[in-house]
């Protein structure tokens, strides 16, 4: 496994790999790998013969006061896990290698960021779309793999890939959960034991909503009320949003007469968690 530190070296490596006729599959991450990331790597290895993992905590997707500085990092552990999963290259640049002091070009979408997490993190998706564009231009992949836990991020990347004509196949991978249902996230390490109990209410409220829809509930307001009740039963939880929306446009939906996305974001102590589920109506 090779570790590449600069954009220039990565581009040269990608060029050489393409010349050899290999298919590059790319898994971008911010590191501190967990089972969810490993599932992206495993899925990725099914779609090509050269697996590139990037590890870069991207400053432009964090606003002032968010956890950029304290975001968990453990490169040695990540590298060992990547090697075990058959990663060919880790691309791990320094911040200064990707962002010059006079950097001023950003990629932003008009509509998809104006929902869900974009409402409380107004600059986040501009940072994500920008770094993913840069990484696509550096790693030159044929396919790239993203998790469905960050549903809005995946929707934005699919739209951006289509709108900007990137010749890259975007592959989405289902959420990986802990045995108790908590969606895997690098930020779960912030949770104290009692907060973890509170955090389980996210998955519980989604599962309850799925049951309600399966047994005939068609009003989004009822699902939202129930979810809010389940989550608010824990004093350490503070709800950012609970939304039922169209899985493609992310616009709110009132009547559930087709599959809808239920998405939520909750602060548990100082840890902001997200989760989602596509709900399928009865019949
Ligand atoms: O999902 C993430 O870990 C990040 O948002 C990504 C896609 C690696 C961009 O920094």
* CATH number, residue 71: 3.40.50.620
Same domain, 141 and 112: yes
Same domain, 161 and 233: no
Same domain, 245 and 221: yes
For position 219, which CATH number holds?
Answer: 3.30.1300.10
Cα–Cα distance for residue pair 58/73, rounded to 1 Å: 12
Compute, in angstroms, the gap from residue 225 CA to the centroid of ligand 1: 31
Cβ–ligand 1 distance for 261 under 6 Å, the answer no
Please give the average per-residue pLDDT across 134-138, as a whole number: 99
Q: In this structure, is residue 40 part of a structural domain?
A: yes
Q: In this structure, is residue 149 part of a structural domain?
A: yes
Q: In this structure, is residue 230 part of a structural domain?
A: yes
Same domain, 202 and 68: no
Helices and strands of the chain, counted as H and E runs: 9, 9
Residue 282 reports pLDDT greater than 90: no
Domain, as residue range, for 194: 186-277
Same domain, 221 and 271: yes
Domain final position from 152, 173, 194: 173
Cα–Cα distance for residue pair 82/128, rounded to 1 Å: 23
Tens digit of pLDDT for each residue in 251-270?
999 999 999 999 999 999 98
| Alpha carbon 166 to its chain's center | 19
pLDDT at 170: 98
Q: In this structure, is residue 153 part of a structural domain?
A: yes
Tens digit of pLDDT for each residue in 147-163?
999 999 999 999 999 99
Q: In this structure, is residue 137 part of a structural domain?
A: yes
Among candidates 154, 150, 152, 174, which has minimal Cα distance to 162? 154
* pTM of the complete model: 0.97
Q: Hey, whose CA ends up nearest to atom 1 of ligand 1?
A: 29
Same domain, 155 and 241: no
Q: Hey, whose CA ends up nearest to atom 2 of ligand 1?
A: 29
Neighbouring-strand partners of residue 177: 183
Q: In this structure, is residue 283 part of a structural domain?
A: no
Same domain, 79 and 32: yes
**How many structural domains are present in the chain?**
2
Helix (H) / strand (E) containing 50:
strand 50-55
Residue 187 reports pLDDT greater than 80: yes
Count CA atoms closer than 13 A to 259's CA, side-chain side.
Answer: 8
Tens digit of pLDDT for each residue in 16-59?
999 999 999 999 999 999 999 999 999 999 999 999 999 999 99
Starting at the edge strand that comes first in sequence, how are the strands of the sheet with 50-55 ordered? Answer: 2-4, 89-91, 50-55, 24-29, 143-147, 169-173
Q: Over the chain, what is the mean pLDDT?
A: 97
Domain final position from 146, 173, 200: 173
3-state SS track over 9-44:
HHHHHHHHHHHCCCCEEEEEECCCCCHHHHHHHHHH
pLDDT at 283: 74
Same domain, 71 and 210: no
Domain final position from 173, 202, 236: 173
pLDDT at 5: 98
Q: In this structure, is residue 139 part of a structural domain?
A: yes
Please give the average per-residue pLDDT across 170-194, as a whole number: 95
Question: Percent helix, strand, coil in the chain (nearest 5)?
Answer: 40, 20, 35
Same domain, 141 and 201: no
Compute, in angstroms, the gap from residue 128 CA to the centroid of ligand 1: 6
Catalytically annotated residue among 13, 34, 37, 280: 37
Same domain, 61 and 28: yes
Same domain, 221 and 200: yes
pLDDT at 80: 98
Q: In this structure, is residue 252 part of a structural domain?
A: yes
């Amino acid at each position: 496994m090779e570790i590449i530190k600069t954009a220039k070296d990565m581009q040269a490596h990608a060029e050489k790999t393409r010349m050899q006729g290999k298919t590059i599959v790319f898994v971008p991450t911010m590191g501190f790998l967990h089972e969810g990331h490993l599932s992206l790597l495993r899925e990725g290895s099914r779609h090509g013969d050269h697996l590139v993992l990037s590890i870069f905590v991207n400053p432009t997707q964090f606003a002032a006061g968010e956890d950029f500085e304290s975001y968990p990092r453990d490169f040695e552990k990540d590298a060992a896990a990547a090697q075990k999963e058959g990663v060919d290259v880790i691309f791990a640049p320094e911040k200064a290698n990707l962002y010059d002091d006079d950097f001023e070009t950003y990629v932003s979408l008009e509509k998809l960021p104006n929902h869900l997490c974009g409402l409380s993190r107004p600059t986040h998706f501009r940072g994500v779309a920008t770094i993913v564009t840069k990484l696509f231009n550096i790693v030159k992949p044929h396919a790239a793999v993203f998790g469905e836990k960050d549903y809005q991020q995946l929707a934005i990347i699919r739209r951006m890939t289509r709108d900007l004509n990137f010749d890259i196949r975007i592959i989405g991978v289902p959420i990986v959960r802990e045995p108790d249902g908590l969606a895997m996230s690098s930020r779960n390490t912030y949770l104290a034991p009692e907060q973890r109990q509170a955090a389980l209410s996210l998955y519980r409220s989604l599962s309850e909503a799925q049951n309600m829809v399966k047994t005939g509930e068609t009003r989004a307001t009822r699902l939202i009320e129930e979810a809010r009740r389940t989550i608010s039963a824990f004093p350490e939880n503070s709800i950012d949003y609970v939304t039922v929306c169209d899985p493609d446009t992310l616009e709110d939906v009132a009547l559930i007469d087709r599959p809808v996305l239920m998405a939520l974001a909750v602060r548990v102590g100082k840890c902001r968690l997200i989760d989602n589920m596509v709900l399928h109506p009865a019949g």
